């Protein structure tokens, strides 16, 4: 399997429904894996994979909503689509507030499900690319020396070189040298690119 090929995880305790969903997804070229409950899915899931999860609301043991919460707790960034024949407004609201892509009631219209899955996969791919870029930026930030991080902190605070130098008790030319090196390490050409790069790293990239 190509690393970029998306996987649709189907977590439903009804064998017939899992089989029907797998057949439907295969008809449009989508790869899927089926599981009768949450534990075997969690054991088999491969982090950083592009895809989404079709999750039945009423699963044996760990419910669909509980599985959704577990994914959040484990920082598993996998779009979730809740599907069920026993849906209610309260469950739908809880699922959507927790970040579900959609809440579909059985019997699910095939075209609606395919469109929803494709939308979820697009979101997963965008998140994956953003996470990969953030990782690259964090590695560049980690290559900075402590003094370069100090200068970066001042630059991001909008301080001029002279004030940064005074705060660090070093020469202004030294600040300029550190600034040039950190921009070279971060592969940016100006302050706008620098700000975008640090923002791309998220909280872990903040000096």
Q: Tell me the per-residue pLDDT of 11-64, one tens digit each, with 9 for 90 and over.
A: 999 999 999 999 999 999 999 999 999 999 999 988 778 999 999 999 999 999
Q: Per-residue confidence at 2, pLDDT binned at 50, 70, 90?
A: very low
* Max mean pLDDT range (89-93, 106-110, 111-115): 111-115
- The pLDDT of residue 55 is 95
Q: Per-residue confidence at 202, pLDDT binned at 50, 70, 90?
A: low
Listed in order, the ranges of the chain carrying CATH 1.10.10.10 are 143-205
Whether the pLDDT of residue 148 is over 70: the answer is: yes
Whether the pLDDT of residue 83 is over 60: the answer is: yes
Whole-number percent of the chain with pLDDT over 70: 95
Listed in order, the ranges of the chain carrying CATH 3.40.50.2300 are 7-132
Strand 80-84's sheet: what is its strand order? Answer: 31-35, 7-11, 51-56, 80-84, 102-105
pLDDT digits (tens, 9 = 90+) for 52-79: 999 999 999 999 999 999 998 988 889 9
Expressed in percent and rounded to 5, the helix, strand and coil fractions of the chain are 55, 10, 30
- What is the CATH number assigned to the segment(s) 143-205? 1.10.10.10
DSSP 3-state of 81: strand
- The pLDDT of residue 1 is 42
Entry pTM: 0.72
CATH topology of domain 7-132: Rossmann fold (3.40.50)
- The pLDDT of residue 4 is 66
Whether the pLDDT of residue 144 is over 70: the answer is: yes
Residue 122's Cβ-count burial label (10 Å; 0-12, 13-18, 19+) is middle
């Amino acid at each position: 399997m190509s690393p970029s090929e998306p996987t649709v995880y189907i977590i439903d305790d009804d064998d017939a429904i899992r089989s029907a969903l797998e057949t439907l997804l295969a008809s449009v070229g989508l790869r899927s894996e089926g599981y009768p409950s949450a534990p075997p899915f969690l054991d088999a899931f491969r982090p950083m994979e592009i895809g989404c999860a079709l999750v039945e609301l009423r699963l044996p043991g760990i419910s669909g909503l509980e599985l959704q919460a577990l994914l959040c707790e484990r920082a598993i960034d996998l779009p979730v689509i809740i599907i069920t024949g026993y849906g209610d407004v309260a469950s739908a609201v809880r699922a959507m507030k927790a970040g579900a892509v959609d809440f579909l009631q059985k019997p699910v219209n095939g075209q609606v499900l395919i469109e929803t899955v494709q939308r979820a996969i697009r979101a997963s791919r965008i998140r994956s690319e953003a996470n990969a870029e953030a990782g690259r930026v964090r590695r560049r930030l980690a290559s900075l020396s402590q003094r370069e991080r100090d200068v970066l902190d001042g630059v991001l605070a909008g301080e001029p070189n002279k004030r940064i130098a005074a705060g660090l008790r070093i020469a202004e030319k030294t600040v300029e040298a550190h600034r040039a090196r950190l921009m070279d390490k971060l592969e940016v050409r100006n302050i706008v690119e620098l700000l975008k790069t640090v923002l791309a790293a998220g909280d872990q990239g903040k000096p």
